[in-house]
């Protein structure tokens, strides 16, 4: 049942990612990362009952929205190198899919309990937000330079 709910959340998140990017452009990445940080921080609180964990599974799965938002942004900025950008995007997601469980496993192995994985995930989302803000700043600087020059 939990896998079904997570899959449904991923399906909805995939659609929402494209919709959100259409509305907010690159800012959608920041919104999704903020959502991820909050949902993952709340995730450990939901582990008390099957119903709350199913709701949390759906909410966490909505983070799939990051895929279409980032992919679309990369296609927009990778003039003449869109295939390379797409391959890099998939490689980065694969790396994140390895690092996340590794960090969570390290926390569990350190004796912090299973619920700590939500906090570890939230911390990685906050780190992603820091990278997002740096990228946003760089993009704003380039836009300002182009308008001035």
Q: What is the pLDDT of residue 149?
A: 65
The model's pLDDT over 139-148, given as tens digits with 9 standing for 90+, comes to 888 877 777 7
**Percent of residues, the chain, with pLDDT higher than 90:** 81
Q: Where is 136: in which H helix or E strand? A: helix 116-148
Crossing angle of the two packed helices 66-77 and 2-24, in degrees rounded to 10 = 30
Higher pLDDT, 75 or 110: 110
Domain limits for position 93: 2-148
Token output for 116? 């700590």
Query: How many domains does the chain fold into?
Result: 1
**CA separation for the pair 71, 85 (Å, rounded):** 8
User: Does pTM top 0.85 for this prediction?
Assistant: yes
The model's pLDDT over 18-66, given as tens digits with 9 standing for 90+, comes to 999 999 999 999 999 999 999 999 999 998 899 999 999 999 999 999 9
Task: Report whether pLDDT(121) > 90.
Answer: yes
Tell me how far the alpha carbon of residue 9 is from its chain's centroid: 13
Mean pLDDT of the chain: 93
């Amino acid at each position: 049942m939990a896998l079904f709910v997570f899959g449904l959340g991923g399906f909805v998140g995939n659609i929402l990612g494209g919709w959100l990017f259409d509305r907010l452009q690159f800012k959608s990445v920041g919104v999704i990362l903020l959502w991820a940080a909050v949902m993952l921080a709340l995730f450990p609180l939901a582990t008390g009952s099957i119903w709350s964990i199913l709701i949390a599974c759906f909410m966490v799965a909505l983070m799939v929205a990051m895929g279409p938002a980032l992919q679309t942004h990369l296609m927009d900025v990778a003039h003449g190198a869109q295939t390379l950008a797409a391959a890099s995007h998939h490689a980065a997601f694969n790396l994140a899919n390895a690092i996340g469980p590794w960090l969570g496993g390290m926390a569990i192995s350190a004796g912090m309990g299973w619920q700590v994985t939500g906090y570890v995930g939230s911390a990685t989302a906050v780190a992603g937000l820091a990278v997002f803000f740096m990228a946003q700043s760089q993009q704003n600087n380039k836009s300002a330079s182009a308008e001035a020059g």
